[in-house]
Amino acid sequence: MRARLDSSILDQTLGNQQPGQTARSSAANHIPAPRCDRLAVLLWLLLLAAPGMQAAQTLHGHIPSAVFRTQPLGRLAASKRLDVVVALPLRNLDVLTNLLQQLYDPASTNFHHYLTPQQFTERFGPTEADYEAVSSFARSNHLSINGTHPNRTLLDVSGTVAELEHAFHVNLRVYTHPVEARTFYAPDVEPSLDVSVPVLAVSGLDNYSLPRPLSGRQIAPMRPGGVTPAGGSAPDGFSYFGNDFRAAYVPGVGLNGAGQSVGLLQLDGYYTSDITTYETQAGLPNVPLTNVLVDGVSGTPDGITNFVAEVSLDIEMVISMAPGLSRVLVYEGTVPFDILNRMANDNLASQLSSSWFIGGQGDGDQITPQIAQQFVAQGQTFFQASGDFGAYFSGVNQQAANPNTTLVGGTFLSTTGPSGSWVSETAWNNYAVVGAGTNSTGGGITGYAIPSWQQGIDMSGNGGSTSSRNSPDVAMVGANVWVYYMNGLSNSFWGTSIAAPLWAGFTALVNQQAAALGHPPVGFLNPVLYSLGKEQGYGSYFHDVISGNNTNSASSSQFFARAGYDLCTGWGTPNGAILINTLATYAGAVWVAYGAPFPGAGTYDNPYSTLSLATTAVAPGGTIAIKGPGSGAETLTINKAMTIAAAGGAVSIGR
């Protein structure tokens, strides 16, 4: 019984609830009870609220907005069983927020001093007592506990609809989906729990947004107007394949990802024969694959073609960009939050990627953002495909768009030919090319507040926001890519699904270089990517995509690619060795500066760029004035000797 003193409980207790009414709806039609009866009930409820009694807490954001625009068709069958995830919030959020900022501030003594999963749990995870309290709540409501998590942020439970409705004080009703040819179920009110410890969210009480892959098969090659791609080396004589990606984005780079692992979130299985065929046909080595099975799945493909194809696509893209990887970790499961949390708690890969649309409870997602905070604290880089649905608008959270994720858009790529050099790119938009379809690179304004690293960008010409988080951050090729899938099929594909794992493979090259320099992984990329993008010479780090758009049926005016940052392709695509070397140097730097010959007096404008050197050796004890981001000039003392291989190389100044 919830100790809440409201008229609905009084009405239900006094027998004034009408047949078929819930306690919440009865208040509007109650018959006033005699004063003496009400006083007696009020006294009884006060006793319930005495020490030791559990007070209910109501959660928020769990009702899809479509519920308010339609009438229910009926109730979900009471005997149907559902899997539900109960999420607990992290502790010490102010401390965590400050720490995350310090981990990526080269001026901080905490710079890149990442936490282990155990350290993260000890400092910020829910307490063991709180976790047990939620577990006890589940058991007392006859819910089965299907899974626990070492960081204590998620509890996997299941029960019948009747049991879940009782536990969370909701009715699960069925509605007609407004845009898909199906029905969906959702709670009629926000869920509440009779437990005194804080609960963040409950996922699984609705199925309005179903996970789906962010890719699709092409009917024919697509050639954007004004661009004549020479094409790649795929069997169709046009699509990109194998070494084409390295030739375009990292020409002449010898790094291959050796010593690195990439983790991929997947909601289906795959056929290893397809991966082997891809490697053989593309002339790539066999990269070890490790399946990490979550939620009790077997790893056997379930037969849904586009799901199975997504898994193969992601693996093949990672291997194409980083063919020397120690392994690809394929995390397979049915609940995206469980998979993401496992990736964080395992902490086996410094670069992670998701190419799936992941909806949350209601229209939003409160769970992924705090899992992403653990990724950032542990130095893991998490890439999310920005979506294939074109422009989206203020207040819409899409594709795990939280500020601790690097969002990746898609492009049409043009090269000189098979295994050829990069020529140009334009924002990917199927409609603009073939005059049909609605798919294009996802980007726009999310419902999250703008993060510090995205501030200070002139948004007047790109339609972006100066107060909300803008998407995407970067991009890579998103169309005309050949894939082997479904135990022997092959075809050309489109989607930002292509771009996200390619960026994960690219980051494996960065972290291979960082490891060779004795540096930690680069970790969350956005702070340094945006710092580089804001430089006057940002074009040396990125291929700036200045043509194309992601306009769709919802808008014909947003958004268009332009010079600098835009809401189609972010800062653009990686420009090979210079970006790799700069990011790898940043991974171990306190300051990386450029400008006047070194050593000598002078103010250096940016901490992440290259330094023009007058000498190849720097002795300890010298000083240099450097201006950090958002600060005045500081004089730092060099306390370790440095040797630079050649003039013009980047220099790390250690404390």
605-619 pLDDT, tens digit per residue, is: 334 333 333 333 444
- Nearest Cα neighbor of 367 from 208, 157, 154, 189 is 154
pLDDT of residue 594: 34
Q: What percent of the chain has pLDDT over 90?
A: 63
pLDDT of residue 436: 55
Residue 580 has pLDDT above 60, yes or no: yes
Separation CA 117–CA 377 (nearest Å) = 9
pLDDT of residue 32: 40
Any idea which of 41-55, 163-177, 579-593, 630-644 has the lowest mean pLDDT? 630-644
Any idea which of 221-235, 376-390, 497-511, 596-610 has the lowest mean pLDDT? 596-610
Any idea which of 64-68, 152-156, 265-269 has the lowest mean pLDDT? 64-68
- Nearest Cα neighbor of 363 from 602, 68, 142, 56 is 68
* pTM of the predicted model as reported, rounded to 2 decimal places: 0.84
pLDDT of residue 398: 54
Q: Which amino acid does the sequence have at 437?
A: G
Confidence band of 527 (pLDDT split at 50, 70, 90): very high
pLDDT tens-digit profile of 269-295? 999 999 999 999 999 999 999 999 999
Residue 111 has pLDDT above 50, yes or no: yes
Confidence band of 55 (pLDDT split at 50, 70, 90): low
The predicted model gives 193-219 an average pLDDT of 90
Separation CA 344–CA 1 (nearest Å) = 37
Structure tokens at 184: 């969906």
Give pairs for 105-111: CB < 8 Å, separation 24+.
106/586, 106/589, 106/590, 106/591, 106/592, 106/607, 106/608, 106/628, 107/590, 107/591, 107/607, 107/628, 107/631, 107/634, 109/655, 111/590
The predicted model gives 35-54 an average pLDDT of 44
Calculate the CA 452 to chain-centre distance: 18
C-alpha dihedral (296, 299, 302, 303), degrees to nearest 10: 180
pLDDT of residue 554: 61
601 or 298: which leads in pLDDT? 298
- Nearest Cα neighbor of 317 from 257, 399, 245 is 245
pLDDT of residue 447: 83
Question: Residue holding tokens 């790539």?
Answer: 284
Size of the chain, expressed as the number of residues it contains: 655
The predicted model gives 12-29 an average pLDDT of 34
240 or 592: which leads in pLDDT? 240
Confidence band of 261 (pLDDT split at 50, 70, 90): very high
Selecting from 2.30.40.10, 3.40.50.200, 3.40.50.300, 3.40.50.2000, what CATH number does the domain 212-582 have? 3.40.50.200
In sequence order, the 6+-apart residues with CB closer than 8 A to the CB of 516 are none
Separation CA 27–CA 349 (nearest Å) = 54
363 or 547: which leads in pLDDT? 547
The predicted model gives 292-307 an average pLDDT of 93
381 or 180: which leads in pLDDT? 381
Q: What percent of the chain has pLDDT over 70?
A: 77
Residue 539 has pLDDT above 50, yes or no: yes
The predicted model gives 421-440 an average pLDDT of 81
Cα–Cα distances (Å) from 465 to 42, 77, 177, 528, in that order, read 51, 44, 31, 20
Confidence band of 589 (pLDDT split at 50, 70, 90): low
* 8 A C-beta contact, residue 618 and residue 597: no
Quickly count: other Cβ atoms within 10 Å of residue 125's Cβ: 23
pLDDT of residue 363: 58
Backbone angles phi, psi at 57, to 5 degrees: -125, 135
Mean pLDDT over each residue of the chain, to the nearest integer:
82
pLDDT of residue 214: 87
110 or 154: which leads in pLDDT? 154
Backbone angles phi, psi at 455, to 5 degrees: -75, 160
Q: State whether residue 369 is helix, strand or coil.
A: helix
C-alpha dihedral (174, 176, 178, 180), degrees to nearest 10: 100
User: Domain-by-domain residue ranges, the chain?
Assistant: 7-53, 58-90+125-203, 212-582, 589-643
Residue 11 has pLDDT above 50, yes or no: no
Structure tokens at 491: 């075809």
pLDDT tens-digit profile of 433-491? 765 567 889 999 888 899 999 999 999 999 999 999 999 999 999 999 999 999 999 99
